[in-house]
Chain A
Amino acid sequence: MNAAYVLLAMPLAGFLVLLWLGRRLGEPGAGWLATLAAAGSFVAAVVMWLSLLSKPASSRLVIKQIFTWVPVAGLHVNFALQIDPLSVTMALFVTGVGSLIHLYSIGYMHGDERFPRFFVLLNLFLFSMLCLVMADNFLFSFLGWEGVGFCSYQLVSFWFERDRPPAAGKKAFVTSRVGDFGFLIGMFLIFAHFGSLNYTNVFSGLSAGHPGALAEVTATGIALMLFLGAVGKSAQLPLFLWLPDAMEGPTPVSALIHAATMVTAGVYLMSRISPILHYAPDAQTTIAVVGAVTALFAATIACAQDDIKKVLAYSTISQLGYMFLGIGSGGYVAGLFHMITHAFFKALLFLCAGSVIHGMHDEQNMKRMGGLRRWMPVTFVTFLIGWLTISGIPPLSGFWSKDDVLLAAWHKSHALWAVGFLTAGLTAYYMTRQVALVWFGQARWEESAGQAAAEEAAHTTRGRPHESPWIMTLPLIVLGFLSVVGGVINLPYGKWDFLSRWLAPVLPPDPHVDTSVKITLAVVTVALALVAIALAWVPWTRRAEHPDLEPAVLQHGWYYDDAVSAFVAGPGTDLFNFDAYAVDAGVIDGAVNGVARLTRSGGSLVRRLQTGYVRNYALGVAAGAAVLLLYVAVRGGQ
């Protein structure tokens, strides 16, 4: 189990070495070093997994203490790693997908003037993410939670000389902060109630399932506060609006942080606190409803976006909603299963999009693409795999995981299932629209590229799109392969439910649904996906402009972002100003300054007593002694 140290040490070492030597290593040395660190971390994760697998299922929990962090009386927090099936699952796919994206970034970031800096941040991100999932207590997890938030901020605003990336980074940071506030309050509640922040201590009394172990009010409070943290991090309603803006960052960042790993931290947190959720049915329902509504809401917006990455961003929000729908419905394994397959296919789609952007010389508008399949065959084929996977076409991995989520939702409430079902159709629709716009139809880049392409043509052999180098297509192929076969980790047949059995010691089993219902629902969902694909295929391969299919309200994301912006800029600013200048400066600072002023004026009154004449002091001493003597005399007389 010492592999756990290596797991964390590799990206940390990569980060430190690159911090000092990154500039000297330059390109591509820095990238290779970072990739090596990530790959080493992945190997360590595999070793950890194998050694955990060799133990009997009941004893698959190892705590690795590194050092005591906070030894305050009553609050005892360690830097310790918890190695159990859940954390190892997270570590495996975080490092696995992370390594591939590191490799891809070497090609994607080629020629960037801050090439080493990118990999410094990427390794720091990987380290923080591993802290978050491997920690054995809430506080250590929170450290990683903030670490990934910081890296996200840095990487979104990576091209800080432009106008929009720094603003997007700030937006991501500030919006997540609202959620982090909830996480903190949740942590305080946990400490107040359990007297510990340690996962094992907190959950040991709960996992037995005693009915009175935890009051429902307490459980609901804790769960909802932590869910607020998850909402901020995982971009759910109402805090999702930072994620589409975060697409201003380099595409590998979108793939790694804003699709595969960081945004799933909320899903991980909710799975981790499953023993608490068990006592909070209302909180579970809230999670399921928020997830379902977010899934549908984001999917509708994705149907009318022109930016290739924006479509994927809204799609990510929608798929994260699925995961929360699964978890809120009690389908923890389904949620995590979908998280893993989503990491594969969404990272794949993002990396494909990056490859397209790269090949199109930084063009992101799908309306100016079209017919690219001839020019970028590898990206094309892998993108098709990603498209079919996310649309839920059997036997690709997305079908199995989405099906599990929908089954859990069906068990919880048929209305929730209906929302998820509708979202599945919309998902197939907008992804088909994207495929049609990018890869099929007429090549629209020649007429619209205009001057930029002419300039580009002067530098390169031709201003045409080109396939990306092998270093970028290799991760695509691997992820494409994983997207196809990823479903086998949890098939609903006999002994093929590896993930369910693997996670059984940590998570409660998914709700049981009859086989006949299972098959019916699966058939209905696939039929809907096929219909949606056909519906999208016909118009969008023919023409790129269908104003009636892209209502303005969807293009503007239901004006949600505008509404929030208007609120924050108008009454919000007044409110915050009132808070800052009246409440904070007046009441809070006033109280603090008031105490100081009182002390000062009191002191200036009393200081007159100190005259500097020794005889005055002596008189005071004598008078004091006289009073004391008098007191003793009177008392003695009684």
Chain B
Amino acid sequence: MTVPGAWYLGLAALLFTIGAVGFLVRRNVLVMFMCVELMLNAVNLTFITFARVLNDIGGQTSVFFVLVVAAAEVVVGLGIIVAIFRRRTGATADDLHILKG
């Protein structure tokens, strides 16, 4: 018995919503970061699903690009977060609103 594609898509949508809501409501920078990863991987799951349903290798290829970009983003993002935590302890994202226009 094969799992239908719609289930995967539903799971992906659920994951994305969790990620999006988490990103909007949480203030801990690290948690927000994890939420971003959650959203990215929800998208990846969508790609894979369509690749299987439509029998098109392009979807799987896109996932690799997303993974690479995500890895690069993590490196830069974590670097910034570490730099921030060195200067101030227990900073939340809202504490950094000094960058406002």
**A622 to B93, Cβ gap below 8 A?**
no
B24 contacts the other chain (Cβ, under 8 Å)? yes
A613 vs B94: C-alpha distance when bound (angstroms): 6
A66 contacts the other chain (Cβ, under 8 Å)? no
Known A-B contacts A615-B24, A618-B24, A622-B20; the reply to A608 vs B101 at CB < 8 A is yes
B86 contacts the other chain (Cβ, under 8 Å)? no
A residues near B99, Cβ cutoff 8 Å? 612
A625 closest partner in B (C-beta)? B20
A610 vs B98: C-alpha distance when bound (angstroms): 10
A614 vs B23: C-alpha distance when bound (angstroms): 9
A607 contacts the other chain (Cβ, under 8 Å)? yes
**A622 to B24, Cβ gap below 8 A?**
yes
A615 closest partner in B (C-beta)? B24
A13 vs B25: C-alpha distance when bound (angstroms): 78
Please classify the interface of chain B as helix (H, G, I), strand (E, B), loop, or mixed, using the class held by over half of its residues.
helix
A614 vs B97: C-alpha distance when bound (angstroms): 8
**A611 to B100, Cβ gap below 8 A?**
yes
Query: How far is the CB of A183 from the nearest CB of chain B, in Å?
Result: 51
A507 vs B69: C-alpha distance when bound (angstroms): 76
A619 contacts the other chain (Cβ, under 8 Å)? yes
Q: Which residues in window 70-101 of B have CB below 8 A to A?
A: 93-94, 96-101
A609 contacts the other chain (Cβ, under 8 Å)? yes
A618 vs B24: C-alpha distance when bound (angstroms): 7
B residues near A610, Cβ cutoff 8 Å? 100-101
Query: How far is the CB of A619 from the nearest CB of chain B, in Å?
Result: 6
A residues near B100, Cβ cutoff 8 Å? 610-613
B40 contacts the other chain (Cβ, under 8 Å)? no
**B23 to A615, Cβ gap below 8 A?**
yes
A619 closest partner in B (C-beta)? B24
**B101 to A614, Cβ gap below 8 A?**
no
Query: How far is the CB of A549 from the nearest CB of chain B, in Å?
Result: 84
A residues near B24, Cβ cutoff 8 Å? 615, 618-619, 622
**A612 to B23, Cβ gap below 8 A?**
no
**A611 to B93, Cβ gap below 8 A?**
no
B48 contacts the other chain (Cβ, under 8 Å)? no
A607 closest partner in B (C-beta)? B101
A607 vs B100: C-alpha distance when bound (angstroms): 8
A604 closest partner in B (C-beta)? B101
A606 closest partner in B (C-beta)? B101
A613 vs B25: C-alpha distance when bound (angstroms): 12
A residues near B23, Cβ cutoff 8 Å? 615, 618
B32 contacts the other chain (Cβ, under 8 Å)? yes
**A613 to B20, Cβ gap below 8 A?**
no
**A612 to B20, Cβ gap below 8 A?**
no
B24 closest partner in A (C-beta)? A615
Q: Which residues in window 597-630 of A have CB below 8 A to B?
A: 607-615, 618-619, 622
A residues near B101, Cβ cutoff 8 Å? 607-610, 612
B residues near A608, Cβ cutoff 8 Å? 101
A622 vs B16: C-alpha distance when bound (angstroms): 12
B residues near A609, Cβ cutoff 8 Å? 101
Q: Which of B23, B96, B101 has the most CB of A within 10 A?
A: B101
**B98 to A612, Cβ gap below 8 A?**
yes
Query: How far is the CB of A271 from the nearest CB of chain B, in Å?
Result: 66
Query: How far is the CB of A603 from the nearest CB of chain B, in Å?
Result: 9
Q: Which residues in window 574-616 of A have CB below 8 A to B?
A: 607-615
A residues near B94, Cβ cutoff 8 Å? 613-615
B residues near A614, Cβ cutoff 8 Å? 32, 93-94, 96
A614 closest partner in B (C-beta)? B93
Residue from B25, B32, B96 within 8 A of A612 (CB atoms): B96
Query: How far is the CB of B76 from the nearest CB of chain A, in Å?
Result: 15
**What per-residue 1/0 map shows which CB atoms of B58-74 lie under 8 Å from chain A?**
00000000000000000
Q: Which residues in window 509-555 of A have CB below 8 A to B?
A: none
A residues near B97, Cβ cutoff 8 Å? 611-613
A619 vs B24: C-alpha distance when bound (angstroms): 7
Query: How far is the CB of A256 from the nearest CB of chain B, in Å?
Result: 65
**What per-residue 1/0 map shows which CB atoms of B10-52 lie under 8 Å from chain A?**
0000000000100111000000100000000000000000000
A160 vs B53: C-alpha distance when bound (angstroms): 93
A548 vs B79: C-alpha distance when bound (angstroms): 101
A53 vs B23: C-alpha distance when bound (angstroms): 90
Query: How far is the CB of B82 from the nearest CB of chain A, in Å?
Result: 17
B32 closest partner in A (C-beta)? A614
B residues near A618, Cβ cutoff 8 Å? 20, 23-24
B96 closest partner in A (C-beta)? A612
A615 vs B29: C-alpha distance when bound (angstroms): 11
A338 vs B51: C-alpha distance when bound (angstroms): 94
Query: How far is the CB of B57 from the nearest CB of chain A, in Å?
Result: 25
A609 vs B101: C-alpha distance when bound (angstroms): 8
A622 vs B20: C-alpha distance when bound (angstroms): 8
A612 vs B96: C-alpha distance when bound (angstroms): 7
Query: How far is the CB of A629 from the nearest CB of chain B, in Å?
Result: 12
B23 closest partner in A (C-beta)? A618
A609 vs B98: C-alpha distance when bound (angstroms): 14
A625 vs B32: C-alpha distance when bound (angstroms): 19
A175 vs B87: C-alpha distance when bound (angstroms): 68
A619 vs B25: C-alpha distance when bound (angstroms): 10
B93 closest partner in A (C-beta)? A614
Q: Which of A610, A613, A619 has the most CB of B within 10 A?
A: A613
List 23 A-B residue pairs with CB atoms under 8 Å apart, sorted by A's residue number. Answer: A607-B101, A608-B101, A610-B100, A610-B101, A611-B97, A611-B100, A612-B97, A612-B98, A612-B99, A612-B100, A612-B101, A613-B94, A613-B100, A614-B32, A614-B93, A614-B94, A615-B93, A615-B94, A618-B20, A618-B23, A618-B24, A622-B20, A622-B24
Q: Beyond the given A611-B100, A612-B99, A618-B20, please list 16 additional residue pairs across the A-B interface where CB-CB is below 8 A.
A: A608-B101, A610-B100, A610-B101, A611-B97, A612-B98, A612-B100, A613-B93, A613-B94, A613-B97, A613-B100, A614-B32, A614-B94, A615-B23, A615-B93, A618-B24, A622-B24
**What are the 7 A-B residue pairs with the smallest beta carbon separation, nearest first?**
A612-B97, A612-B100, A610-B101, A607-B101, A614-B93, A612-B99, A615-B24
